[in-house]
Structure 1
Amino acid sequence: MAVKKGGALTPLEVMDDAAVIPVIVLDDVAQAVPLARALVEGGIRMLEVTLRTPAALRCIEAIAEQVPGAVAGAGTVRSEEDARAAAAAGARFAVSPGYTPLIGAACRQAGLPLLPGVSTGSEILLAQQDGWNELKFFPAVPAGGTAMLKAFAGPFPDVRFCPTGGVTAANAREFLGLPNVVCVGGSWLTPADAVKAGDWGRITKLAREAVALR
């Protein structure tokens, strides 16, 4: 799928671009641009940079400004302030570990498509009440894995998921084989040792393998 050069994306466009959205944790801004370029070279363009470190927003800003082929997004969005700060840094989508209407409203106001985190039927209903039908199933493996997603398919046939949390190269195909799963999220594309060593070739190889999962 072609990535829009500018303007708002839909949550489904974020999910449908590749089989895997990498979950990225960066402590050093200097690593952001070469890491993003390595992933884009491997065919992965939707990049979820988690707001778990003091450097995260600056990393998003660097990727947005210096890697034209990448679509920088913000993960671990936990508040209205996170959503606004992510948008100001240049993020083009947001991912949250859970969901509140305040987060949803802040993302809409900031023009960020959101993948809200859910793990129960009540959480899915809450997200759907606010118009979100493309959701992050988190934490996927501890919350029931593929069995839970199969169970959700009955009462929620209009919902599409991105399972994240315990998803690996070894089990990704099992998740991706479900009709209500569009993509998965995972940290295995950006191993900490490879990032620390600047082994960008390894990361490009992992990205290509991830693209081939679909």
Structure 2
Amino acid sequence: MPLFQNATFLVTVNHLRDLPPHTGLEVAFAGRSNAGKSSAINTLANRNRLAYVSKTPGRTQHINYFTLGNDRYLVDLPGYGYAKVPPTIRQHWEKLLSTYLQVRPQLCGLVMIMDIRHPFTPLDQKMLEWFLPTGKPVHILMTKSDKFSRQESSKALFEAKAVLAKSYPNCTIQLFSSLKRLGIEEAENAINSWLSKPSLSESVAAEQENKE
């Protein structure tokens, strides 16, 4: 069964004060506008329109929460890097994203979406710099790998792994294609390893049981 098979929309958030209060675990998806984030989420969920796919970059303008059951959540973050967004809105997004990534205790890992043709843009690097100090894992999907030949894709992946080994050692990376449905199992395994860990409430409950 796909990892996000039972994902159900929960709430849209535009301010940190409105983040859902829970003690479960969250996995967030982030990516540059038009890198294929919504398509990747829909592919992993085996659903056509769980996340909104638009031909207009910058469509996702809020933090969208989906419940997965068992106090687990998928968080779709606003796409970043769309030049036509007004400066005031861009500044709001940056503050919302950076603060959420740095201080949200329920967040257990970040899935970053990078177009295989344009990896590690300055904005991608900024996202990593915001998040990596938390010590939490990052898994990168190099999307639209169908745009490259197998040899080109392998070369791009090899070069990306070299960048990670040098500058971002807490990250893993893989090839992904929503069109060809490539890399689904590998992505699910990475994300499921995060969501399978005990949440805050589960850890407290286990600690109480051990004391009794």
Which category of TM-score, normalised to the shorter sequence, fits these structures? 0.3 to 0.5
TM-score (normalizing by structure 2): 0.39
TM-score (normalizing by structure 1): 0.39
